[in-house]
Structure 1
Amino acid sequence: MTTAARRWSRADMAQRIARDIPDGAVVNLGIGLPTLVASHLPPEREVLLHSENGVLGFGPPPPAGAEDWDLINAGKQAVTLRPGGCYFHHADSFAMMRGGHLDICVLGAFQVALNGDLANWHTGAPDAIPAVGGAMDLAIGAQATWVVMEHHTRQGESKLVPRCSYPLTGLACVKRVYTDLAIIELAAGVARVREIVEGLAFDDLQALTAVPLQPPAAA
């Protein structure tokens, strides 16, 4: 990486996702990093946030001390309810997910393969606690699955891989990946870069990534 380059922060990644969500979309935000997106959607935007525990139309977290612990997302974090928001049984929530009624789901990941395979629930380590939750339903039930994750593991290995080595969550389901270095579209076995963090050259990004990349399309 060039000395001028920096990595996008978690807030930067969440902000970019929020910017790319179209008005009118019904969107599920997965546990962890994806939940930050709720804090970066301007109040004038009409985006319906869905959570698998049974809420549609929630908003960002409340101020500290104003939490209503009967109003939480799937990660047990306090949220707010926007005008028109509603609650329902989690079985109905899963019916929405499985029935193709979500426009976008945003999930974290341990690995994403070049063909769009997703591994985000278990590393395969013998002491790891499996926690798939609703990720399998979301990954293939939503019209589009976006992933947000760091570009590398803590050991410096690329999370974009030719083939996932961890247990799979969904097959060929990821359409877009947001990392701390780039935004990458996946389609038909091709990874095309949409945007690169300022100061990082395409060739440097390629050297840091375990799959072949296509440069951004010419303007």
Structure 2
Amino acid sequence: MTAGVRLDMRAVARRIARDVPDGSYVNLGIGLPTLVADCVGADKEVVYHSENGILGMGPAPAPGTEDPELINAGKQPVTLLPGGAFFHHTDAFLMMRGGHVDVTVLGAFQVSETGDLANWATDDVGHPPAVGGAMDLAVGARRVLVMTTHTTRDGTPKLLPRCTYPLTAARVVDRVYTDLAVLDVTTDGFLVREMVPGLERDELQGATAARLAFADDLMVLDPG
């Protein structure tokens, strides 16, 4: 693998932010996906949803101004924009299951070439399973985007022909953003749309267990 080619995850978040539509209702998964909110430009109006019962979250509070009673589903302190609302978490899940969330950005342990998502349990006994609202979001959101590293820390591919971990949902992922590439999930498997500068096609394939196809208009991954 070309040395130093990988993007940091904040750069990946900036790339995802470009694909978040203006006027959309968006749920960001716990962990890395929360970075996306900090990267969406002021030229877009995005309404953020949290499954613990918030609609209209604002930016993270300044240090020292946190309200312990105002947190998102990941227990992180948040703020509320004018017009924002609180409600029972049952209603939050009804929004998710009813198809009212336009986009969800979720992390992943594995994604299969058919769009299966595994992001709630591994075979690591030191990492307890925690599904949260991921299953509901994966099947209920109109568009499912995955944000993840291309491989694990030891170099094991995360993009596979078939997931080996328990599935969150089957055939739900639309697009995957990694520190090496942007890939669409198509009926024929993974289609690489963008790659980081200096990365060769065979290098990306070497870091991927699933077979890759490359778009005719393949572009350089520029996080902006």
TM-score, scaled relative to structure 2: 0.93
Task: Report the Cα offset of residue 127 of structure 1.
Answer: 4.6
Amino acid across the alignment from 2:84: G
How far, CA to CA, are the matches of 2:44 and 2:68 in structure 1? 25
Corresponding residue number in structure 2 for 1:121: 120
The answer (yes or no) to whether the contact 2:192–2:213 under 8 Å persists in 1 is yes
Corresponding residue number in structure 2 for 1:37: 36
Task: Report the Cα offset of residue 202 of structure 1.
Answer: 2.0
Corresponding residue number in structure 1 for 2:131: 132
Task: Report the Cα offset of residue 189 of structure 1.
Answer: 3.5
Amino acid across the alignment from 1:62: P
Corresponding residue number in structure 2 for 1:174: 173
SS across alignment from 1:217? strand
Deviations 1:9-57 (A, max 9, x none): 1100111111110101111000010011111122331111111001111
How far, CA to CA, are the matches of 2:88 and 2:216 in structure 1? 44
Q: RMSD across aligned C-alpha pairs, in angstroms?
A: 1.4
Question: Between Structure 1 and Structure 2, how many residues are aligned?
Answer: 218
How far, CA to CA, are the matches of 2:30 and 2:23 in structure 1? 22
The answer (yes or no) to whether the contact 1:124–1:167 under 8 Å persists in 2 is no
Deviations 1:64-119 (A, max 9, x none): 11112222111011112122211111000000001111111111010000000000
Corresponding residue number in structure 2 for 1:104: 103
SS across alignment from 2:174? strand
Corresponding residue number in structure 2 for 1:95: 94
Task: Report the Cα offset of residue 144 of structure 1.
Answer: 1.0
How far, CA to CA, are the matches of 1:204 and 1:124 in structure 2? 28
Amino acid across the alignment from 2:153: R
Q: Which runs of 5+ in 2 are unaligned?
A: 219-224
How far, CA to CA, are the matches of 1:106 and 1:128 in structure 2? 21
TM-score, scaled relative to structure 1: 0.95
Task: Report the Cα offset of residue 125 of structure 1.
Answer: 3.4
How far, CA to CA, are the matches of 1:168 and 1:70 in structure 2? 33
SS across alignment from 2:13? helix
Corresponding residue number in structure 2 for 1:2: 2
Task: Report the Cα offset of residue 203 of structure 1.
Answer: 2.3
122-131 or 207-216, which deviates more: 122-131
**Identity of aligned pairs, percent?**
57
Q: Which runs of 5+ in 1 are unaligned?
A: none
